A and B are shown apart, each in its own frame.
Chain A
Amino acid sequence: MTQLPSQTEKKLGLVIDLDTCVGCHACVVSCKGWNTENYGAPLSDQDPYGADPSGTFLNRVHSYEITPSEGAAQLIHFPKSCLHCEDAPCVTVCPTGASYKRLEDGIVLVNESSCIGCGLCAWACPYGAREMDQAEGVMKKCTLCVDRIYNENLPEEDRVPACVRTCPAGARHFGDLGDETSDVSKLVAERGGMDLMPEQGTKPVNKYLPPRPKDETFDVLAPFLEPVAAEPKGFLGWLDKTLERL
């Protein structure tokens, strides 16, 4: 019902490294803090000190266990927020034009003053990346910190999304994925960055770098250390010879 631009000048987005994400939730809370205080209505929390606290978060970290057929189980931490899709179904489904994709950078946003809180976009998003704010009755989503990345009141080095600025492990990268020469595009090429659920045909801008293979550091066929002695006396003989060479 709402049209997407045929193309955007840039494709700003995130590259998230699943090899180094330790699942600390720093990005989650930094996002909550910035977006509570900034863009649009505050992110509210219902029953914040009670039985069923539930608030609006624009970014959440999920953890998944993977049990390979051989070897030890692994735990993957998976941060998830809006992927700023090129073919964003959340935009096209919007009845009022409140959801839109920006021409200049491809960021998908909600214009809260025209959002009627119908929730269609959340149903349309295959990633579950939109959350209805229960206090405000408007749809909330990752803005890629559009109020930070161009903000002349911030030092230039801080003009990145709050989650990227705060990530302790350096697992989050921000840039123009439409520009093949950008650092993020190079990282994606080097590390085999992937789309989340490509079969949905949404053409997500955000990319995930897969975890490197684990528990394969040591070649089990590599030779063990060669003994020089099995008991102290023999060792002292070896020691004398070695020390002479030093």
Chain B
Amino acid sequence: MAHQQPKLDLSPKVSDEVKKTTCYMCACRCGINVHLKDGKVAYIEGNRDHPVNQGVLCAKGSAGIMQVNAPSRLRAPLKRVGERGSGEFEEISWDEALDIAAGWLKPIRDEDPSKLAFFTGRDQSQSFTSMWAQSFGTPNYAAHGGFCSVNMAAAGIYTMGGAFWEFGQPDWDRTKLFMLFGVAEDHDSNPIKMGIGKIKAKGAKVIGVNPIRTGYNAVADEWVGITPGTDGLFILALIHELFKSGKIDLDYLAHYTNASVLVNEADGPEKGLFLRTTDGAPMVIDRKSGEAKPWDCPGIEPHLGGTLTVDGVTHRTVFQMMLEEFLDPKNAAEAVEGKVGIPAARIKAIAAELARVAFEEEFELPTPWTDFRGRKHKTMKGRPVSMHAMRGISAHANGFQTCRALHTLQIILGTVEVPGGFRFKPPYPKPSEAHPKPHCKVTPGAPLDGPHLGFTHGPDDLCLKDDGTPARIDKAFTWENPMSSHGMMHMVISNAHAGDPYKIDTLFMYMANMSWNSTMNTRGVIDMLTDKDDNGDYVIPRIIYSDAYSSEMVAYADLILPDTTYLERHDCISLLDRPICEADAAADAIRWPVIEPDRDVKGFQSMLCELGAKLDLPGFVNEDGSQKYADYGDYITNHIRRPGVGPLAGWRGNGDGQGRGEANPEQLQRYIDNGGFWIKHIPEGSNYYKPWNPDYQDWAVETGLYDKPQHYLFQLYVEPMRKFQLAAEGVGDRQPPDHLRERIKNTLTPLPIWYDPSVDNRGDEFTVTALTQRPMAMYHSWGSQNAWLRQIHGQNPLFVPTKIWEENGFAEGDWAKVSSPHGDITVPVAHMAALNENTVWTWNAIGKRKGAWALKPDAPEATKGFLLNHLIHELLPPKGDGLRWANSDPVTGQAAWFDLKVRVEKAKAPNEAQPAFPSIKSPVGTGPDELRVKTDQDA
């Protein structure tokens, strides 16, 4: 047949209209263009103008259309009519649903607001939900940070006023060496991929430190397949080698960190505390005059090396304490190589490469600036080394100190907030003192005395009742974990069930799949949720749950308040919360209803506006008692947090206000007209050295980020930790219980250290570490029922390294029994060579329960998919002392997911992955047998 070709229409209509909003297929908040035909979603692509993703979009984002059409969407409020866990519900009206909720909550508020535990999971509206909880008066509020990555966030804020991801980013345009630790292929999703692509195109090097070589680590130029849980030791070895060779930035340390601050050396109640002026300012020695001066005194040259005797008490600098700690031979490459699983020569080579790039590739931007002490700089010095890390290093019981060590490494190289290094994004940098302290004072019928979550600076800030018992149900901010800045969501159900520290009445949760993948000890938690007391009443009396989808948690609630999908709602990605800023700009964004729900559902936050009014919560009612905010969009527009500052920073007042100004009724429309976001750039000269740059500080105040300039020093030595240690040594009135004294002394050291979490997890008997990673094309439970994404990740074998594969004689198609001190599972295995030899891993949250997510009961997620959660207990194995020791970091309480130690042995293939759970009855049925989706065809 001769060549012939039909005439094609090469310019078909793409859509009727494009609406620009913010993605919510994961937590990264990219801008999206939603193409609509006949009012239906036809196609979703990235928004080119958006600061986060600049047009690109990941697999999850592009699959959003299947989430919006998902058969698992809940359709109406549900009231439980069978036993908990049976999935027997009846649909009710919103009026009835909110009457039930108010009927439960009103008496609690009047008598004892702490009987409500309100935890909001992967909530992006925490500045709103926390206000609601504060207004209700319960101390029991947090989102999911405690079981996610609080170690990273808190260590960053205590050390340098910010951490990674939302807090900051590498200087992608200038960095030449990028070191990535333990990133599970998301957080930050698109920006990290864009950045890696960009720097590789310029010939920069990427070092990936991760036991698993997938994703970002697969494209890293250098892979360091570290033993899990030893990142801190590896980093301390790098610090040791750099100190030993003098490859540290002395000028930077002296001027911008507390390395020059003087510390009391005398035994007694002040030991280890800073020498302060009568006004409380930490003091340094001025090298020029030799005199002690406040740290921020203009014109001084802070000295790293001196000592000072005041009233017979010797003080020496933090820097000298660092020398002692970091030069200790225990941190030498040769001393740690066995534990970390990296040869000493390689550790030294990496240290040498860090030093070479930081100091020999030093460069200057021709931008003059003057620092807060009045020192004039003709240029901005750059050091092109940057780093990024997330949960991989933080979800360990030594994670806080490991994250501290990583920040210390960046700081001694002089690479933070400098050109080529790691840069903060507004509203960061922000020192820990500029954050609230936690509050827990409960008054019946009245709001809590302040924000729930914050940063403790010593024993006085702990959330303890007068009798010394924990004020919060999750025991956050107690001696067990004094610096638990994000709360401890993973302990709520366990503690509520145990009545430890007290019993609650109502558990109210949002977007948290606590009876499945979002909890440790899944089987145990299911039992706790359904357990009854001797009277036949549920031990946790009432459970309210809000979710957009038929997740595993739905069956365990008494009242379901169905949420919308992300294209049907208002949201604000707020500067008061977790905004979308870039290192060179402040920015925030909205979601808005680009389609209307076709179900009887309400956005969770809009529902809270209504419920808050029903409960007469201050801030949610007008003076005449009527409902204050019609819905969340109304709140976003009209709520005033501080004078002139509200949830959104753009187009305030008459529309010209940027950051500050009165509420503007046109504000949401202005955001919509601008593509769903607002951005204000930081002027050149203000955009580096931010903590010490008065021009930036003035810009931040003008933009409403805070109300007065707040210069500060990086805290290599965290004095609040020393205060907790002092209490453990017996100083002060507020004293820890005796069984915690040694642990506090050993783990709350003011300089970063490493300790081995495997000891508490019986690592001598269970010698293999088991990890999870989140795939790039799937996020938590949200994505797993997505018809397109589940064709990419519908199963999750246990990936086994060559050594364990051969030891067990595994072959393709085999199954293994995996045991931990807590339990065992039987699961399919697959071989993977690019893996640390003592590590096994699987994809997170692919395993589903039969009956959930509108999947058919024989879906592979339910028959072959599995959770490692069954092997992880919220408590450590019993130590024989009768105490409940949380499987958490002793500093922050972060869930130690990645301390899981296991044994792997070949097993006979069962019919399905074990443990198998009975099917739960679906409130939404199951999905269709075939999809042929095209808007103009099914119209």
Q: How many whole Å from B401's CB to the nearest CB in chain A?
A: 21
Most buried by B among A37, A38, A113, A135: A37
B214 contacts A by Cβ under 8 Å:
yes
Task: Please name the residue on chain B nearest to A111 by beta carbon.
Answer: B6
Contact with B along A23-40 (1 / 0, CB 8 A): 111101110111011100
Most buried by A among B43, B216, B250, B287: B43
Query: How many residues of chain B have a CB within 8 Å of chain A?
Result: 112
Most buried by B among A147, A168, A238: A168
A185 contacts B by Cβ under 8 Å:
no
A-B contact pairs, 16 of them (CB 8 A): A2-B3, A26-B62, A32-B788, A37-B933, A38-B14, A52-B860, A55-B791, A77-B218, A146-B8, A166-B58, A169-B219, A222-B349, A224-B348, A227-B244, A227-B245, A236-B305
Q: Which residues of chain A from 177 to 225 have a CB within 8 Å of any chain B CB?
A: 211-212, 214-220, 222-225
Cross-chain contact B215 with A165 (CB below 8 angstroms): no
Q: Which residues of chain A from 135 to 174 have a CB within 8 Å of any chain B CB?
A: 135-136, 146-147, 150-154, 157, 162, 165-171
Question: Which residues on A sit within 8 Å (CB–CB) of B324?
Answer: 232
Task: Please name the residue on chain A nearest to B206 by beta carbon.
Answer: A217
Cross-chain contact A25 with B12 (CB below 8 angstroms): no
Cross-chain contact A2 with B1 (CB below 8 angstroms): yes
Cross-chain contact B1 with A3 (CB below 8 angstroms): yes
Cα separation A159 to B338 with both chains bound (whole Å): 54
**Given known contacts A25-B777, A166-B57, A235-B323, A97 and B4 CB-to-CB distance under 8 angstroms:** yes
Q: How many whole Å from A103's CB to the nearest CB in chain B?
A: 7
Q: Which residues of chain A from 14 to 63 have a CB within 8 Å of any chain B CB?
A: 19-26, 28-30, 32-34, 36-38, 41-42, 44-55, 57
Cross-chain contact A22 with B776 (CB below 8 angstroms): yes
Question: Which residues on A sit within 8 Å (CB–CB) of B883?
Answer: none
Question: Which residues on B sit within 8 Å (CB–CB) of A154?
Answer: 14
Q: How many whole Å from B437's CB to the nearest CB in chain A?
A: 36
B585 contacts A by Cβ under 8 Å:
no
Cross-chain contact B858 with A42 (CB below 8 angstroms): no
Cα separation A25 to B919 with both chains bound (whole Å): 31
Cross-chain contact B352 with A230 (CB below 8 angstroms): no
Cross-chain contact A74 with B355 (CB below 8 angstroms): no
A102 contacts B by Cβ under 8 Å:
yes
**Given known contacts A218-B222, A236-B323, A165 and B55 CB-to-CB distance under 8 angstroms:** yes
Question: Which residues on A sit within 8 Å (CB–CB) of B44?
Answer: 33
Among the 9-residue stretches B190-198, B725-733, B901-909, the one with 4 or more Cβ atoms under 8 Å from chain A is B190-198
Cross-chain contact B201 with A30 (CB below 8 angstroms): no
B600 contacts A by Cβ under 8 Å:
no
Cross-chain contact B245 with A225 (CB below 8 angstroms): yes
A75 contacts B by Cβ under 8 Å:
yes
**Given known contacts A55-B931, A153-B13, A218 and B785 CB-to-CB distance under 8 angstroms:** no
Cα separation A224 to B352 with both chains bound (whole Å): 6
A interface vs B, CB < 8 Å?
Answer: 1-5, 19-26, 28-30, 32-34, 36-38, 41-42, 44-55, 57, 65, 67, 72-77, 94, 96-97, 100-103, 109, 111, 113, 135-136, 146-147, 150-154, 157, 162, 165-171, 211-212, 214-220, 222-232, 235-236, 238-240, 242-243, 246
Among the 9-residue stretches B632-640, B680-688, B921-929, the one with 4 or more Cβ atoms under 8 Å from chain A is B921-929
Task: Please name the residue on chain B nearest to A55 by beta carbon.
Answer: B791
**Given known contacts A73-B834, A77-B218, A29 and B858 CB-to-CB distance under 8 angstroms:** no
Cross-chain contact B201 with A168 (CB below 8 angstroms): no
Q: How many whole Å from A8's CB to the nearest CB in chain B?
A: 10
B427 contacts A by Cβ under 8 Å:
no
Question: Which residues on B sit within 8 Å (CB–CB) of A100?
Answer: 3-5
Task: Please name the residue on chain B nearest to A135 by beta carbon.
Answer: B932
Contact residue among A2, A168, A215 (Cβ-Cβ distance under 8 Å from B193): A168
Question: Which residues on A sit within 8 Å (CB–CB) of B858?
Answer: 50-51
Cross-chain contact B194 with A169 (CB below 8 angstroms): yes
B353 contacts A by Cβ under 8 Å:
yes
Top 8 closest pairs, chain A to chain B, by CB? A49-B927, A225-B245, A73-B833, A168-B193, A170-B197, A48-B787, A169-B197, A24-B776
Cross-chain contact A37 with B777 (CB below 8 angstroms): no
Cα separation A36 to B355 with both chains bound (whole Å): 51
Most buried by A among B8, B55, B250, B787: B8
Question: Which residues on A sit within 8 Å (CB–CB) of B927?
Answer: 48-50
B780 contacts A by Cβ under 8 Å:
no
Cross-chain contact A217 with B55 (CB below 8 angstroms): no
B interface vs A, CB < 8 Å?
Answer: 1-6, 8-14, 42-46, 48, 53, 55-63, 65, 71, 185, 189-190, 193-194, 196-198, 200-201, 205, 207, 213-216, 218-223, 225, 241-247, 250-251, 287, 303-305, 320, 323-324, 327, 345-346, 348-353, 355, 776-777, 785, 787-792, 794, 832-835, 854-856, 858-860, 863, 926-935, 937
Cross-chain contact B776 with A23 (CB below 8 angstroms): yes
Question: Which residues on A sit within 8 Å (CB–CB) of B3?
Answer: 2-5, 100-101, 103
Contact residue among B60, B197, B305, B787 (Cβ-Cβ distance under 8 Å from A53): B787
Q: How many whole Å from A174's CB to the nearest CB in chain B?
A: 14
Question: Which residues on B sit within 8 Å (CB–CB) of A212?
Answer: 221
Contact residue among A20, A28, A49, A214 (Cβ-Cβ distance under 8 Å from B792): A28
Contact residue among B12, B834, B932 (Cβ-Cβ distance under 8 Å from A38): B12
Cα separation A157 to B352 with both chains bound (whole Å): 43
Cα separation A168 to B59 with both chains bound (whole Å): 10
Cross-chain contact B348 with A22 (CB below 8 angstroms): no
Contact residue among A5, A49, A215, A235 (Cβ-Cβ distance under 8 Å from B854): A49
Contact residue among A1, A23, A230, A242 (Cβ-Cβ distance under 8 Å from B218): A23
Cross-chain contact B241 with A48 (CB below 8 angstroms): no
Cα separation A240 to B10 with both chains bound (whole Å): 73
**Given known contacts A165-B55, A168-B197, A215-B223, A239 and B11 CB-to-CB distance under 8 angstroms:** no
Cross-chain contact A228 with B246 (CB below 8 angstroms): yes
Q: How many whole Å from B349's CB to the nearest CB in chain A?
A: 4
Q: How many whole Å from A172's CB to the nearest CB in chain B?
A: 10
**Given known contacts A33-B43, A100-B5, A239 and B305 CB-to-CB distance under 8 angstroms:** yes
Cross-chain contact A170 with B194 (CB below 8 angstroms): yes
**Given known contacts A29-B777, A50-B858, A217-B353, A225 and B197 CB-to-CB distance under 8 angstroms:** no
Cross-chain contact A1 with B1 (CB below 8 angstroms): yes
Contact residue among B57, B250, B349, B791 (Cβ-Cβ distance under 8 Å from A218): B349
Question: Which residues on B sit within 8 Å (CB–CB) of A50?
Answer: 855-856, 858-859, 926-927, 929
Contact residue among A1, A53, A232 (Cβ-Cβ distance under 8 Å from B790): A53
Most buried by A among B46, B59, B214, B794: B59
Task: Please name the residue on chain A nearest to B860 by beta carbon.
Answer: A51
Task: Please name the residue on chain A nearest to B853 by beta carbon.
Answer: A49
Cross-chain contact A218 with B223 (CB below 8 angstroms): no
Cross-chain contact A75 with B218 (CB below 8 angstroms): yes
Question: Which residues on B sit within 8 Å (CB–CB) of A227?
Answer: 244-245
Cα separation A235 to B42 with both chains bound (whole Å): 66
**Given known contacts A5-B3, A29-B63, A243-B304, A20 and B207 CB-to-CB distance under 8 angstroms:** no
Task: Please name the residue on chain A nearest to B936 by beta carbon.
Answer: A37
Cα separation A72 to B833 with both chains bound (whole Å): 8
Task: Please name the residue on chain B nearest to A47 by beta carbon.
Answer: B929
Cross-chain contact A151 with B859 (CB below 8 angstroms): no
Q: How many whole Å from B861's CB to the nearest CB in chain A?
A: 10
Contact residue among A36, A75, A147 (Cβ-Cβ distance under 8 Å from B934): A36
Cα separation A246 to B324 with both chains bound (whole Å): 23
**Given known contacts A25-B777, A228-B244, A49 and B304 CB-to-CB distance under 8 angstroms:** no
Question: Which residues on A sit within 8 Å (CB–CB) of B350?
Answer: 218
Question: Which residues on B sit within 8 Å (CB–CB) of A1?
Answer: 1
Q: How many whole Å from A138's CB to the nearest CB in chain B?
A: 12
Cα separation A20 to B776 with both chains bound (whole Å): 15
Contact residue among A38, A77, A153, A168 (Cβ-Cβ distance under 8 Å from B53): A168
Question: Which residues on B sit within 8 Å (CB–CB) of A45?
Answer: 787-788, 791, 930-931
**Extra A-B contacts (20), CB below 8 Å, given A48-B930, A216-B221, A218-B350:** A20-B201, A21-B219, A22-B196, A22-B216, A26-B57, A26-B59, A33-B62, A41-B934, A44-B932, A48-B787, A48-B929, A49-B787, A49-B928, A52-B860, A53-B787, A135-B932, A151-B10, A224-B349, A225-B348, A228-B244
